[in-house]
Amino acid sequence: MTTPRKSAVKNISARRNAAAVKNLRIMSGSRGMKGKIPFETASVVFRGNAVDMNLGFADAGRRRWIGEEGKRLHGYFTGLAEDLQSEDYIQARADMVEAIRAKDKDAVTAFKEVVAEMTTNIVLATSNWLPFFRVHTLNHNDRAEVINETNQEIGVSIIGIDGKADRVRAVKEFTAEPVRMLVLATDVYEYPLFDLDKGFDVRDAALVQVDLARDLAAQVDAMLAQYILVGTPNSMLTAAFQTTGAMVSRDYHAHSRVNTANFPAGNLLTLDGNSTTTKLRLDVFKAIVKYQHDWGSGAFPDGDIMAQTIIVPSSDTTGFLDEIATIDVNDNEVTRQIFNGGVPVNYGGQTWRVIGDNTLDPNDGMAYVQTNKPVGEFYQKPSLDQTLLDDSFDRKINNSEAVAMTKVVGAATSRHHRPHLIGVRYRTPA
C-alpha cells in the first residue's frame, strides 16, 4: 500500500520533471516561431523561483503571441504557477522535506535523482516450528476447545500463561477441554523524537530500526519449539511410545487385530554408526521411510504419515553430499538427482525438502521431520492484538516515546499426535 509520504514524494518528483519539460518546450517553441524572446521578456521569464518563472512564461506568451495562441499560453502557465502555490503542493513539499530528514529511501533518491540500494547487517533467526501445528484464526468471541474424537480418553497438554505446559488432564469421550489463551509481548522499545542539535524529527528514522512484528513472530516460534526439540521439558519426541497402562497415558491405542511388533518403538530414532563427527547422510532418509511404512498402509483414519520437510542445523544441510560418489563411478537415479537438483528429489517414492535452521545446535546432530499431520493446534485472535504507544507527558518531556506489540495466542497438543512427529539423531551429542 502506498503511504501518503511516498505518494507525496512521487508527486513532487513528477511535477518537477513535468515542469522542466514544459518549460523547455515553450522555450524551444518560441525560438522556432518568429525569432527569439526579447531581452526584456527573458528578464521577466527567468526570475528567482518556479512560481515567478511560470508567471514570466505566461506574460511572455501573451506579449509575443496575439490571439488565441497567446491566451492559451498565458492560461497554461498561469495555471501551472497556481498549482505550485496550492495547499496540496505545499503540503506535499513539506512532507517530502520531512521524509528526507527522516532518511526515507524514496524521498532521498527522488531528491538526489539517483537509485540507491539500502543495506543491512542483521542476520535473522530462522523460524520453522509453526508449520508443525495446525493454525486456527479465531473471531473476537470465539473460544478454542480440544474435543476427543477417538472414543477413548486422551491426554491434553495446554500451553499456560508462562508459555509452558499448564496442565495435563484426561478428556473423556465427546467432552471438550478449553484452550487457555495467553498474551505474548515484545520488549518495550524506547526511541527519541528529535535531534536536539539539528532540530530534525528523528522518530520515523528510529522506528525503522526495529521490526516488532518480526520479533513477535520469533517469540511465537520459540514458544512452539519446546514441544518439538529434544531436551525441552515438553518435547513430543520419545525413544519408546507409552502403550500400556491407563488409556489416558497411552500415545496410541491399537486395534485388537493389530500386531504392534510391526510398529516403531518410538518417534526418536537413533542411527547405528553414530559418532561425534558423523553427518547428515542417506541413512537419515532410510530411517524416515522405514518409520512411515512400519505403521502399515491405512493404519490412520485420516491417512498415512508422510514426511514433508527435514529441518537440520544449517551447517549440516549439505552433509549427505559427502557420501555421494561421482556419476562416472556410481551412476544411479538418486546420484543423478543429487547432482542435478542438490537433494534426492524422489528417494523412497517421495519428494524431500531439507531446510537449514540457524537456531539449532549442530552438536546435537538432530533432524526434525515435519509430516503431513499436525503435532498440535495453534490458535490466534487478531482482534485482540495491540500496538501499545507510550507518548505520555513524562515521555515527551524527556524527548522520547516507547512502543510495544502484543499478540493473543493459544496452543495445545495431545498424546495421540505424538506419532506425527519424527526425530532422527545422526550424530552422538558432543
Best mean pLDDT range from 9-18, 57-66, 260-269, 344-353: 260-269
pLDDT digits (tens, 9 = 90+) for 30-45: 433 344 434 333 333 3
Question: Within this chain, do residues 54 and 178 fall inside the same structural domain, yes or no?
Answer: no
- The pTM assigned to this predicted structure is 0.67
Percent of the chain with pLDDT over 90: 30
Q: Structural domain of residue 263, as residue ranges? A: 130-425
Question: Which residues have C-beta within 8 Å of that of residue 364, sequence separation ≥ 6?
Answer: 230, 231, 313, 425, 427, 429
Least confident of 11-20, 173-182, 186-195: 11-20
Looking at the predicted structure, is the pLDDT value of residue 290 above 90?
yes
117 in any annotated domain? no
Domain endpoint, select from 77, 112, 147? 112
125 in any annotated domain? no
Is 326 exposed, middle or buried (CB count within 10 Å of its CB: 0-12, 13-18, 19+)? exposed
pLDDT digits (tens, 9 = 90+) for 54-96: 566 666 655 666 666 666 666 666 666 666 666 776 677 677 7
DSSP designation for 194: B
Higher pLDDT, 67 or 401: 401
Question: Within this chain, do residues 106 and 204 fall inside the same structural domain, yes or no?
Answer: no
Going by their DSSP bridges, the two strands 154-159 and 165-171 should be labelled as antiparallel
The pLDDT score that the predictor gives to residue 125 is 81
Question: Within this chain, do residues 34 and 175 fall inside the same structural domain, yes or no?
Answer: no
pLDDT digits (tens, 9 = 90+) for 96-144: 777 766 666 677 666 655 565 666 677 878 888 999 999 999 999 998 8
Question: Within this chain, do residues 334 and 375 fall inside the same structural domain, yes or no?
Answer: yes
Q: State the cell numbers at 258.
A: 493389530
The pLDDT score that the predictor gives to residue 201 is 73
Question: Within this chain, do residues 68 and 134 fall inside the same structural domain, yes or no?
Answer: no
Looking at the predicted structure, is the pLDDT value of residue 21 above 50?
no
CB atoms near residue 387 (< 10 Å): 11
Question: Within this chain, do residues 76 and 193 fall inside the same structural domain, yes or no?
Answer: no
Residue 207, by phi and psi: left (phi above 0), alpha (psi -120 to 50) or beta? Answer: alpha
pLDDT band, very low/low/confident/very high, at 9 (cuts 50, 70, 90): very low
Residue 35, by phi and psi: left (phi above 0), alpha (psi -120 to 50) or beta? Answer: left
124 in any annotated domain? no
Question: Within this chain, do residues 155 and 81 fall inside the same structural domain, yes or no?
Answer: no
Question: Within this chain, do residues 412 and 266 fall inside the same structural domain, yes or no?
Answer: yes
146 in any annotated domain? yes
Question: Within this chain, do residues 198 and 312 fall inside the same structural domain, yes or no?
Answer: yes
Count the domains in the chain: 2
Question: Within this chain, do residues 45 and 186 fall inside the same structural domain, yes or no?
Answer: no
Looking at the predicted structure, is the pLDDT value of residue 4 above 90?
no
pLDDT band, very low/low/confident/very high, at 305 (cuts 50, 70, 90): very high
* Average pLDDT of the residues in 353-358: 88
Least confident of 6-10, 169-173, 411-415: 6-10
233 in any annotated domain? yes
118 in any annotated domain? no
**Alpha helix ranges (H) inside 295-352:** 333-341
Question: Within this chain, do residues 222 and 316 fall inside the same structural domain, yes or no?
Answer: yes
Question: Within this chain, do residues 214 and 73 fall inside the same structural domain, yes or no?
Answer: no
Distance, C-alpha 418 to centroid of its chain = 28
CB atoms near residue 56 (< 10 Å): 20
Higher pLDDT, 414 or 167: 414
pLDDT band, very low/low/confident/very high, at 164 (cuts 50, 70, 90): low
* Average pLDDT of the residues in 208-213: 77
Looking at the predicted structure, is the pLDDT value of residue 323 above 90?
no
Least confident of 89-103, 134-148, 283-297, 303-317: 89-103
29 in any annotated domain? yes
pLDDT band, very low/low/confident/very high, at 342 (cuts 50, 70, 90): very low
Domain endpoint, select from 80, 112, 144? 112
Least confident of 87-96, 188-197, 234-243: 87-96
The pLDDT score that the predictor gives to residue 253 is 84
> With b meaning 16 or more CB within 10 Å and e meaning fewer, what string describes 295-319?
beeebeeeeebebeebbbbeebbeb
430 in any annotated domain? no
The pLDDT score that the predictor gives to residue 383 is 93
